[in-house]
Chains A and B, each alone.
Chain A
Amino acid sequence: MSPVVELRDVGKTYPGGVVALDAVSLAVGAGELVAIAGPSGSGKSTMLHLIGTLDRPSGGTVLVEGRDVSLLSDRRLSALRARRIGFVFQQFHLAAGVSALDNVADGLLYGGVPQAQRRRRARRALERVGLGHRLGHRPHQLSGGEKQRVAIARAVVGEPAMLLADEPTGALDSASGAGVLDLLRGLAGSGTAVIVITHDRDIAAALPRRVRMRDGRIVRDETGTEADR
């Protein structure tokens, strides 16, 4: 099974000589649920940006669905992000003053989908995350967990091949966090590659595959047995 995303000896050096990633290799296949854990400054976010094609590596190769990202123009990369990659952020980043339905529909904005269809699919995505009764609510009328579920609905409304979540539970209480994790687990079960960045050991331990990072390197990559309960 060819991986959805693959990093081959990927390095990232920021101007000023700061090495954020140092020859990292990683492959994530469809349906996998991976936790990337590590202290802050260990290169987690940089790796997420490289996987999500928001940033380009200084060295090495990033392959998304077998395509070399460095060979794609910005327009092609954007199209790739619009259709194959979904993002979830710690701070949700929902548009204020816009209903949950339209927030989710924005996930298809750059995919070339007509608005009526965007709405229809957004409704379906919201029902999938259990918010079918909150379609018209604005972000400030939603709880933190609900906001994150709206954000997840926005990320998956385009049926992406992979979902990147950057501390998705960081701003949530444990109950909402568990709900969000269940949702991610369900998505992985349906065939989406889900990559979760976290610095919370408990959350990392609850996921089937755990990648530990330190100082820009992968120090451990284990496919859990005891956590995979």
Chain B
Amino acid sequence: MTGDAATRPDLPATPPGAPPPGRGGDEGEAAPARLGPRDVLRVGAAGLRARPLRVFLSALGIAIGIAAMIGVVGISTSSRAQLQATLDRLGTNLLTVAPGRDFFGDDAKLPVDTVPMISRIEHVRSVSGTGKLDVKVYRNDRIPEGESGGISVLAARLDLPRTVGLGTVAGRWLNAGTGRYPAVVLGSASADRLGVAAPGAQVWLGSQWFTVVGILAPNDLAPEFDSAALVGWDVAAARLGFDGHPTTVYTRAEKDAVEDVRELLAATANPRSPNEIEVSRPSDALAAENATDEAFTGLLLGLGGVALLVGGVGVANTMVISVLERRAEIGLRRSLGATRGRSGSSSSPSRSCSPRSAGSAASRSASRSPPSSR
């Protein structure tokens, strides 16, 4: 019906002898051609090629978003780890046992063998104890008895530093030798008050001369040792009238088992009358740690949620704009012979939608008003 290339005299640019293009057999004409994968990619990427700046900005935005997400997660995770390390250093697993009062309101005493008994509880890492002595320590024998400076004198077991975490700034801790002789280790505050700057000085303790062998570093976890003077368990019994009953027992438990150990402590420390034992709550640091854990998790979830929401809205925005921009193209591609599925309008809810949008784009989009809205 229509002329082929050979019958077009007025189109000089058509090369003579060119095969009549686009003329398959009748069956070839009716069957829709398949788009090769390369062509599909090319058509899909047309929008990207047309707007390289938007592609760059979108990619940059997504990259920054992901980087920010990772940054936020990383920073808060590492600061959480740091906080936990700090809390761990404070000793969230330290429990103290002290004598309470008996039924008659009198001061109770811990049994002499409290420390070895507690050390047999499962999940206990180390146990140590101190016993308060009824003596005072003075700078020298000329100081009036009343000016004791609030320094308490304690008999200390030799493994006390390991359990509580004490360190010395000068000299050294008591050992099996010095623990038997009149040697004393001063807390940091007591050393100040007694005017002792270095080990080797002598102090008047319990009406005897004791030699300072060490000065403790300030301790956050057990501040009671800052204003204490510590002497060996043996010398306290031999020279200072110590009856061997500890007054405070320090227990380090495994972190996961702090609560379990705590439940057993009273009954273990004094099986005959557990009611006379006061067990400290697991230090407040543990509660703080748990609270921190929860707070950080919540914070992270919140941050992540907000970031995802903002990022998602942004990405959706860009996508919607891109789709809107290319929607006019649907009509064009339909007119070029794209099938409904090819032109991407197959998901239109109503069948009448596609021809309409195709039609409105394909026609004079500026001046035409859809018939239904007239």
Q: A residues within 8 Å of B by Cβ?
A: 1-2, 4, 14-16, 18, 20, 30-31, 40-41, 45-46, 48-49, 52, 54-56, 65, 72, 74-76, 78-85, 87, 89-91, 93, 95-98, 106-113, 115, 121, 124, 127-128, 132, 154, 158-161, 166-167, 170, 186, 189-193
Contact = CB atoms under 8 A, between A and B. Distances in A.
B174 interface: no
B366 to A, nearest CB: 7
Given A76-B30, A189-B8, A190-B11, 17 more contacts: A2-B1, A14-B370, A14-B371, A80-B29, A81-B334, A83-B22, A83-B24, A87-B335, A96-B50, A110-B336, A110-B342, A128-B11, A159-B20, A170-B364, A190-B9, A192-B2, A193-B2
Given A15-B372, A20-B371, A79-B32, A106 B336 contact: yes
A166 B358 CA distance: 14
6 contacts: A16-B372, A49-B359, A78-B32, A79-B337, A82-B32, A124-B18
Contacts of B358: 54
Contact of A112 (B3, B34, B333): B34
Contacts of A78: 32, 334, 337-340, 342
A186 B46 contact: no
B35 interface: yes
Interface residues of B, number: 62
A106 B335 CA distance: 11
Chain B, interface SS category:
loop
A89 B367 CA distance: 12
Contacts of A93: 328-329, 331-332, 361-362
A132 to B, nearest CB: 7
Nearest to B355: A55
B322 to A, nearest CB: 13
B177 interface: no
Interface of B: 1-5, 7-11, 13-15, 18, 20-24, 29-35, 38-39, 43, 46, 49-51, 328-329, 331-340, 342, 352, 355, 358-359, 361-368, 370-372, 374
A111 B50 contact: no
A83 B337 contact: yes
Contact of A110 (B33, B49, B368): B33
A159 B22 contact: yes
